[in-house]
Structure 1
Amino acid sequence: MNADVLIVGGGPVGLLLACELKLAGVDPLVLEAAAGQERITRSLGMRSLNARTLHTLGLRGLVEPLAEAQWALFDELRAGREPAEGDIVDGLVYMLKQGMSGGHFSGLPLIGEAGNRVPEMLMLKQHQLERVLAEHAAGLGVEVRSGCRVAEIADEGDGVVATLADGRVVRAGYLVGCDGGRSLVRKQSGIPFTGTSATMTGRTAVAELADPGALTSSLRAPGGLVNLSLVPGEVATIEFDGGPAERDAPVTAEEMQASIRRASATDAVVLSLETGIRYSDNTRHAETYRQGRILLAGDAAHVHSPIGGQGLNLGLQDAANLGWKLALVVRGQAPERLLDTYTAERHPVAARVLRNTRAQVALMRPGPQVDALREVLSEALELPETRAHFIAMANGTDIDYAPDTPHSLVGRFVPDWELVGRFVPDREIEGSGSEGVDSEGVGWVRESLGDGRGLLLDLAGSPETRAAVKGRGDHVRVVAGAVDQVDAAAVLVRPDGYVAWAGTQAGLAEALYAWFGAG
């Protein structure tokens, strides 16, 4: 088996990365160790996709099938519940449909403004997300092999070799570890993984309670946290006990019952337990995301408490940032130094998430001092500026990859402008003589990024601007049109949706070379 890029781990991060590579003309091979029950177990609990992740997935047309999966799940949840005034499911459905849910910060709700054009949050199970991404991957022709456990990796300088548990050998130009917090790829690559040890133990299980109505969700339970999931039968606890002594042994009904009783100070009885997992707030960060031809993404690069639901989103954003860059390098269209921007851009983003998840854990500890602190923060969140700051932080919409660049657009995710005016087909740039077509209401800018190429927006109708991309048509698309109130004659957008450059003709050639190579 050989591939351009070997991806170890076929969860959401590995699948999205594989899709981005394939879209850019590179052949990845995904090796996933788990199969069957293992994949089902890791789907315990609800997963939330935040605003920036939905913006990113929207570039590839994936929001609609994910939204369909979400509403199918909520239909199931509502079908199994008795109608009740103030029902939590109905309330959540309303907020999601209005685009008002900005997530939460340590259980304190972050409610945004209603009326967004696209969803700002989706909630679903991990297996639903994986199914949509797997279908997208299959449509692109990505090869995914389940039940393939990697035992050893080696960077040989001109390529990477992976040896599977059954003795088979796979060779590739590059290898990306998307294999979770206890990543074999990270460990064998020698990348340091530093941080802080666990202070809490979380458990989530599918369990049958003797009296389900006697137990209620509480963020401020006497011994920690108790949460009855929207999914019938799922129950979660968090105890601030220094972390789990054992991570891998099966969770038993007796263990879950004891945890519920300690956390809630009730006499809850667990009759049976179908499956369960343990987790903690162990918080660690890889010092670099790249060592030679080996790279890390997702939990392999950073682990933290799941409180706040940012980990999955952080990993998916890693994949979007890395995919197009690695593809250009593999194809020989850009120098290897482009890969250095992956760590440079994503490491600070993860560091900030690790900081705010540590803060969220601190805010969940029981006790009157923390109660008072939560009351003070709740008051602060009533202020529009404070609430907007926390919503942006929780959703990744405040990310700026180029904070020291003079132009305010550069380094930020491209606004979803509506382009009107003249659309310029790629064939005109290649000198075919076509004059293009006139069209009113060309559409939204982000829709022009669907094929995985970069995008040069010609906002001034300049032939010189459009000619600058000649020879790069396979990885930069040109669109000309008008956008209201944009202080730039042209805008260069990367395949991941972030603005690489904005201005007049001066500097465009340099920006194209820096981000897309010599052409």
Structure 2
Amino acid sequence: MHDAVIVGAGPVGLFLACELGLAGCSVLVLEREPEPGTPWRTAPLGRRGLFATSIAAFDRRGLLEPLLAEAAGLPRFAGADEPGRPRLAGHFAGIVLDAADVDLAALPFRLPSPVPDALMTSLDTVEAALAERAAKLGVEVRRGVAVDGLTQDGEHVVVHAGAHEYPARWAVGCDGGRSAVRRLAGFEFAGTAPQFTGYVALATIPDADKLNPGFTLTPEGMYIRMPAAGHIGVMDFDGGAFDRSQEVTREHLQEVLRRVSGTDMTLTELHLASSYTDRAMQATTYRRGRVLLAGDAAHIVSPLGGQGLNTGIGDALNLGWKLAATIRGRAPEGLLDTYSRERHPVGAWALDWTRAQVASMRPDPHAQAVQGVLRDLLGTREGTTYVFEKLSGTSVRYDLGSTRPLVGRTAPAFRLEDGTSLTDLMQDGRGVVLDFSAGAGLRASAAAWEGDLRYAAGPAENDLGFAAVLIRPDGVVAWAGERGPDRDSFERAARRWFGDASV
């Protein structure tokens, strides 16, 4: 019997598997697709944007290098001080953000870091890096396994696939928007109906110059001409009427693209095509008994703004250490319940973020009037910075019961004067105590949680005015001491997140 069975070997499932494997848990991952690396996972169709908090997660687990290698030469975030680089910082409802207008100094508690604030990568590259790490950690991945049943009691859960049964102490559905685990475990999935049908395709377009490059909003919707030849997207505000079970034909896509673009462009050949909608749905809770959900299984949004992958990585990072502590018998009471409590509001925000974009893109005079206002706002430094802060994830702050504004946020890129970085300290998946005042009495307290925490002391290049900080394994600041660390408050925070040190 495994400690955990994860259904779905996409980025979210594999990241979670690595987190559990890092903590010494036995993990089995079941994946329906027989082989990795389909055209929908590789560039250009599988290309996705990662933002600051996701990039920090990969960096702090030593997984960022393959992503940076692929990103070299691709459009990415670049500041005004990087001449010759694309000045792209994302978009809102097809309105492109100019990176030169992002005031990085205004982002909350941001410290200089050698890693970028955003980058482009592909699902295939992400999954390959995670799969390699998972294998090294002893995680077993079985492909070609379609889950069709699930039973649980107070102690165990059994995942069924045909004649095979996979018992475990816990099961996690990371199997996408049409999650079998979500359905079989009886999760309620609620949300809003679609406004449009979206299409993404690779095609031969001999007169592609009739289409504007990048995002183009029109009175009929929006189309996107990507940098790769023949890579196009289109959003048709038909109320989501196109049935996803239908094949997207060359004739149908050409008709839709002509109508939305207002051109007579021609598709002579359709190589790959798929459709989607902006249906925005979320599980009302992320846990039912011994079954949990993460990623698209827990929440689905349209691709607008690139929040799907980033929100899913955040789910896996938050859940991983909490589930591992529960499996190891080291979790304080209620720790696992904080997963849904912390991540559900983030998922709800992602749904509203995409709904707001869709509302402003509708092909009617009211929405188009809103577009004009948005363009004015996003043409300002304050407006661009606001949207970039939301996209980056740096605005996310969990309510951990503290009035100190750093608590509940992803930890900044602290670096000690001796060169030790927070990235160096978080590779093994433990929490971290950074004692900038060195000698404030935290060493002995931190030692009581040696199996869960790493202690590092010394002056920081920039301590942001804090004497010490306690950082959870997911990189979130759980406690901050501002005027000479208070051992009692530190120990209360440590017990809250890591349990009684005497146990």
TM-score (norm 1): 0.87
SS at match of 2:245: coil
Structure 1 partner of 2:469: 491
Deviations 1:194-224 (A, max 9, x none): 1101110001111122433333345223422
Structure 1 partner of 2:109: none
Output aligned runs, 1:321-470, within 5 Å.
321-335=318-332, 337-402=334-399, 404-420=401-417, 441-462=418-439, 464-470=441-447
Deviates more, 1:21-30 or 1:373-382: 373-382
Structure 2 partner of 1:71: 72
Q: Segments of 4+ in structure 1 off by > 6 A?
A: 88-100
Seq. identity, %: 42
**Is the CA contact (8 Å cut-off) linking 1:98 and 1:116 kept in structure 2?**
no
Deviates more, 1:61-70 or 1:465-474: 465-474
Deviations 1:37-74 (A, max 9, x none): 884335525310011111121111222220101227x4
* Per-residue deviation, 1:269: 2.4
Structure 2 partner of 1:47: 48
Q: In structure 1, what is the Cα distance between the partners aligned to 2:269 and 2:327?
A: 51
Q: In structure 1, what is the Cα distance between the partners aligned to 2:219 and 2:378?
A: 25
Q: In structure 1, what is the Cα distance between the partners aligned to 2:136 and 2:32?
A: 22
Q: 1:206 to 1:36 in 2, by over 3 A?
A: farther
Q: In structure 1, what is the Cα distance between the partners aligned to 2:168 and 2:348?
A: 30
Structure 1 partner of 2:487: 505
Output aligned runs, 1:154-303, within 5 Å.
154-165=151-162, 167-217=163-213, 218-303=215-300
Q: 1:368 to 1:95 in 2, by over 3 A?
A: farther
Q: In structure 1, what is the Cα distance between the partners aligned to 2:35 and 2:299?
A: 26
Q: In structure 2, what is the Cα distance between the partners aligned to 1:398 and 1:91?
A: 20
Deviates more, 1:180-189 or 1:247-256: 247-256
Q: In structure 2, what is the Cα distance between the partners aligned to 1:468 and 1:94?
A: 44
* Per-residue deviation, 1:109: 2.6
* Per-residue deviation, 1:93: 12
**Is the CA contact (8 Å cut-off) linking 1:102 and 1:394 kept in structure 2?**
no
Deviates more, 1:283-292 or 1:249-258: 249-258
SS at match of 2:403: coil
Q: In structure 2, what is the Cα distance between the partners aligned to 1:208 and 1:100?
A: 28
**Is the CA contact (8 Å cut-off) linking 1:329 and 1:336 kept in structure 2?**
no
Q: In structure 2, what is the Cα distance between the partners aligned to 1:244 and 1:170?
A: 39
Deviates more, 1:175-184 or 1:213-222: 213-222
Q: In structure 1, what is the Cα distance between the partners aligned to 2:16 and 2:82?
A: 31
**Is the CA contact (8 Å cut-off) linking 1:191 and 1:288 kept in structure 2?**
yes
Structure 2 partner of 1:304: 301
Picking from 76, 80, 93, the partner of 1:106 is: 93
* Per-residue deviation, 1:378: 2.2
Aligned residues: 483
Deviates more, 1:178-187 or 1:378-387: 378-387
Q: 1:60 to 1:258 in 2, by over 3 A?
A: same
Q: In structure 1, what is the Cα distance between the partners aligned to 2:230 and 2:380?
A: 37
Structure 1 partner of 2:22: 23
**Is the CA contact (8 Å cut-off) linking 1:465 and 1:505 kept in structure 2?**
yes
RMSD: 2.5
Q: Which runs of 5+ in 1 are unaligned?
A: 75-87, 421-440
Matched AA of 1:493: I
**Is the CA contact (8 Å cut-off) linking 1:99 and 1:118 kept in structure 2?**
no
Q: 1:202 to 1:92 in 2, by over 3 A?
A: farther
Q: In structure 2, what is the Cα distance between the partners aligned to 1:100 and 1:271?
A: 33
Structure 1 partner of 2:449: 472
Matched AA of 2:8: G
Structure 1 partner of 2:144: 147
SS at match of 1:206: strand
Q: 1:390 to 1:456 in 2, by over 3 A?
A: same
Matched AA of 1:290: R
Q: In structure 1, what is the Cα distance between the partners aligned to 2:77 and 2:294?
A: 36
Structure 2 partner of 1:430: none
Q: In structure 2, what is the Cα distance between the partners aligned to 1:38 and 1:133?
A: 13
SS at match of 1:418: coil
**Is the CA contact (8 Å cut-off) linking 2:201 and 2:271 kept in structure 1?**
yes
* Per-residue deviation, 1:315: 0.3
Matched AA of 2:281: R
TM-score (norm 2): 0.90
Matched AA of 1:372: A
Q: In structure 2, what is the Cα distance between the partners aligned to 1:118 and 1:93?
A: 17
* Per-residue deviation, 1:90: 12
Q: 1:510 to 1:404 in 2, by over 3 A?
A: closer
Q: In structure 2, what is the Cα distance between the partners aligned to 1:357 and 1:197?
A: 13
